Amino acid sequence: MLGRVEKRNHGRVKPKQQTAVRITSASVNTTVLTLTFDQPVVLRGTPAYTTDVAGAVAVSAASSAIGTVEITFDADIAAATMVTIPSPVEPGVRSKDGGYVADSTFPVT
């Protein structure tokens, strides 16, 4: 019996490729940094993101919309011009399929 051999997956599902998350905007309102992403994200705990304001530490985080995360800092960060995402990966913000934030820095407006 020569011919094409059909492959069966036997009920196994091939894992999806993880999609990298990109920041589309970052803004500050006194102690809250609001980040908007290019896709829905899952928030786990408080991300270890930092700004260029010395001594400001992230103390809590919330997801106000499906692609938005608000990080509250322990000090006024209104003067911040840059947000830094720790590398190699910071597990606090991920895409629905497990991808990490691809940006390492992003300007704050």
Q: What is the pLDDT along the chain (109 residues), one digit of tens a residue?
A: 566 666 666 666 666 678 899 999 999 999 999 999 999 999 999 999 999 999 999 999 999 899 999 999 999 999 999 999 998 788 999 998 889 999 999 999 9
Question: What span, in angstroms and rounded, lies between the C-alpha atoms of 54 and 42?
Answer: 28
C-beta atoms surrounding 31 within 10 Å: 15
Query: Which structural domain, as residue segments, surrounds residue 80?
Result: 23-107
pTM of this structure: 0.83
E strand map for the chain: 23-29, 32-37, 41-43, 50-51, 58-65, 68-73, 82-84, 93-95, 105-107
* Residue 4 maps to a domain: no
Residue 47 has what pLDDT? 95
- Residue 14 belongs to some domain of the structure: no
**Residue at 75 is within a domain:** yes
Q: Contact 80/58 with Cβ under 8 angstroms?
A: no
- In this structure, are strands 23-29 and 105-107 parallel, antiparallel, or unpaired? unpaired
In a domain, 8, yes or no: no
**Position 11 in a domain:** no
CATH of the domain at 64: 2.60.40
What is the spatial distance between Cα 42 and Cα 18, in angstroms, rounded to a whole number?
13
* Number of separate domains in the chain: 1
- Classify residue 18: in a domain, yes or no: no
Nearest residue to 24 via CA among 41, 39, 42, 45? 39
Rg (CA), the chain: 19
